[in-house]
Structure 1
Amino acid sequence: MLITEAFAQTANGAAQTSDPTLMSFLPMIGILVIFYFLLIRPQTKRAKEQKEMQNGLQKGDEIVISGGELGRVVSAGDSYITMEIATGVEIIVLKSSVQTLLPKGTLKSVETGKSNRALKNSRQKAGESRQDEPEDNVTETSEVESSSAPSKQDSEKN
């Protein structure tokens, strides 16, 4: 009589253990689905857009490459582009190094802004006096410190 009860308990126990194991995997599966939609899918979408942008480069496009250089596309091949970074200065770079496609006219506004800042800085320097520069004070203090410190020769004489 005890043996039949033991078999009955084992059969019920086996049926109950299969459900909790499936239920214990559901949160893990849910986390993986969330992980896919929050991290993996947006990253692949961005990579696809980046690749389309790099393949769609044309002559005259203004770009930024991975090193931070700004330039204008002179010619585009299958895997390389020639870009002009200054008047008469052209470099050949990989298409995959292109990070951003800039709106038309960005380079001109950057160059204009740079020349305006340089002009503004030169005007400010012309109006400044030499009293604002602390360079003379720095050399005086270093001379005082070096003269007050005993030299190696003085210590050997004693």
Structure 2
Amino acid sequence: MENMTQLIFPLALVGIFYFLLIRPQQKKMKEHQDMVSSLRRGDQVVTQGGLIGKVDKVKEGENEVVVDLGEGVKVRVVQATIATVVAKTDPAK
């Protein structure tokens, strides 16, 4: 009986850490991956570096996007460094 009570406390701590720390982080990572994978031409995005621009081209196999920052300035950005999508474009019909 005493061994059982000694096991309950560490198992409870593992459960608490999982539900309070690990699970929310995994959920946030999944949402970010879904957002990045659904990028389309014309979406207005903010990079982790703070640059705001519109997606000009999505390079599928290379995990890169070309972002137009305005006035003909285009930069290649790794998809994972897109922080947020400010405005989504409507899908083409």
TM-score past 0.5 threshold: yes
Equivalent residue number for residue 39 of structure 2: 57
The one-letter code sitting in structure 2 at the alignment partner of 1:88 is: G
1:42 aligns with 24
**1:99 and 2:72 are equivalent in the alignment:** no
Structure 1 residue 103 displacement after superposition: 2.7
Aligned residues: 86
SS in 1 for 2:13: helix
Structure 1 length-normalised TM = 0.52
- Counterpart code for 2:36: Q
Q: Pick from 90, 99, 106: which aligns with 2:74?
A: 90
- Partners of 1:44 and 1:35 lie apart in 2 by 13
Distance 1:60 1:77 in 2: 14
Q: Which has the higher contact order (CA 8 A, sep 6+)?
A: 2
Structure label with greater radius of gyration: 1
Distance (Å, rounded) in 1 between the aligned partners of 2:59 and 2:51? 19
Which residue of 2 is the match for residue 67 of structure 1?
49
In structure 1, distance between residues paired with 2:25 and 2:34: 14
Structure 1 outlier segments of 4+, above 3 Å: none
User: 1:88, CA displacement in angstroms?
Assistant: 0.7
Q: Which has the higher helix share?
A: 1
Question: Distance between the aligned counterparts of 1:75 and 1:99, measured in 2?
Answer: 17
CA distance in 1, matches of 2:78, 2:56: 13
Q: TM-score, normalised by structure 2?
A: 0.87
* 1:27 and 2:9 are equivalent in the alignment: yes
Q: Provide the C-alpha distance between the structure 2 equivalents of 1:23 and 1:98, rounded to a whole number of angstroms.
A: 47
Per-residue deviation, 1:34: 1.2
Structure 1 residues without counterparts, runs of 5 or longer:
1-18, 105-158
